[in-house]
Structure 1
Amino acid sequence: MEDLGFMCARCGGEVHDVTHNREGELDAVGYRHNRRVEPWDHELELAVGAPDPGTPDCDFCGEAAPGWLYYPTLDPEDTDVFEVELDTTHLSDDDTATAVLNMLYPWYACDTCSVLVADRNMEQIIVRALERTPVPADGPVGEDVVRARLRGSLSVFFTTRPGRPQPSRAV
């Protein structure tokens, strides 16, 4: 029997829930694509089914068959407080929550992006991501929102990852 869960009816991708807490109280629960940055080519269409796990792509630019993996350096069991330098400028609560969730999962990188990561070149990573996946003119969000989402997720990545990746075949 297939494992049922939340998925996007449009792309078949896995979906996770995101809780919004402010000062110890639950404000809301939302749902997001289980990706580093919410896709900018379509809105989430929540459904129940067997999500397609897909194959990993570069979490920075989307290139297929990434060769490098960056493990998180923060262990949520070690502390109940995280101090992360997160650029939340122009980010909604949903986007901020998604960026923070990125602390807990490994990131895949292609050869090109791993070099940009080593150089800590956030702006060039954003340019590469937008060149490989342009923002549609009639899409649900504009390029300024996409850039803010990328900047927020990347600021978490650079705050919580070591400098050297591992070969992704080790997974």
Structure 2
Amino acid sequence: MEDIGFMCARCGGEVHDVTHNREGALDTVGYRHNRRVEPWDHALELAVGTAAPPDPTCDFCAAPDPSWLYYPTLDPEATDMFEVELDTTHLSDDDTAVAVLNMLYPWLACDTCSVLVADRNIDLLIERALERCPVPDDGPVDEETVRARLNGSLSVFFSTRPGRPQPSRAI
């Protein structure tokens, strides 16, 4: 029997819940696509079902067949408190929570994006993502919001993955 859970009715993608806690109290629970950055071509249409397994794509630009894998480099011996340089300018609470969740999972990169990562070139990574996946004029968010989301997610990525990538076949 397949696992039934939350999914997006529009794209069939997996959905996860995002909780917002402030000073020990649960403020809200929201739902997001289970991707590095919430897709900007459509809003989440929450449904119950079995999500389609995604084909591996570059987490930076969505190019197919990524070649490189970046594991998180958080110290397992450290306490549960750590600092991450996160640029939350123009990010909502949902976007901030998703950016922080990104530090827990490995990232896949295509050859082009892996070079941009090695150069730590956030601006060109954002331009490549927007070139490959343009923001639609009638989409749920504008380009400024998309750029802020990408900048937040990439700032977490660079704060938690300073090492070299591994071939993606290591998954």
Which bracket does the TM-score occupy, shorter chain normalised? over 0.9
Point out where structure 1 has 5 or more consecutive residues left out of the alignment: none
Match of 2:52? 52
TM-score by length of 2: 0.97
Distance 1:152 1:79 in 2: 24
Give how far 1:162 is off.
2.6
Bigger shift: 26-35 or 78-87? 78-87
Match of 1:22? 22
Match of 1:40? 40
Aligned length: 171
Match of 1:161? 161
Structure 2 SS opposite 1:134: coil
Distance 1:143 1:130 in 2: 9
- Give the counterpart letter for 1:17 in structure 2: D
Give how far 1:129 is off.
0.2
Match of 1:2? 2
1:19/1:26 contact within 8 Å kept: yes
Q: 1:41-95 CA distances to partner (integer Å, 9 max, x unpaired)?
A: 0000111100011111000000000000000011567422121010000000000
- Give the counterpart letter for 2:100 in structure 1: V
2:73/2:163 contact within 8 Å kept: no
2:122/2:151 contact within 8 Å kept: yes
Q: Considering only aligned residues, what root-mean-square deviation do their CA atoms show, in Å?
A: 1.1
TM-score by length of 1: 0.97
Match of 2:70? 70
Match of 1:126? 126
| 1:141 corresponds to 2:141 | yes
Give how far 1:163 is off.
2.8
- Give the counterpart letter for 1:66 in structure 2: P
Structure 2 SS opposite 1:80: coil
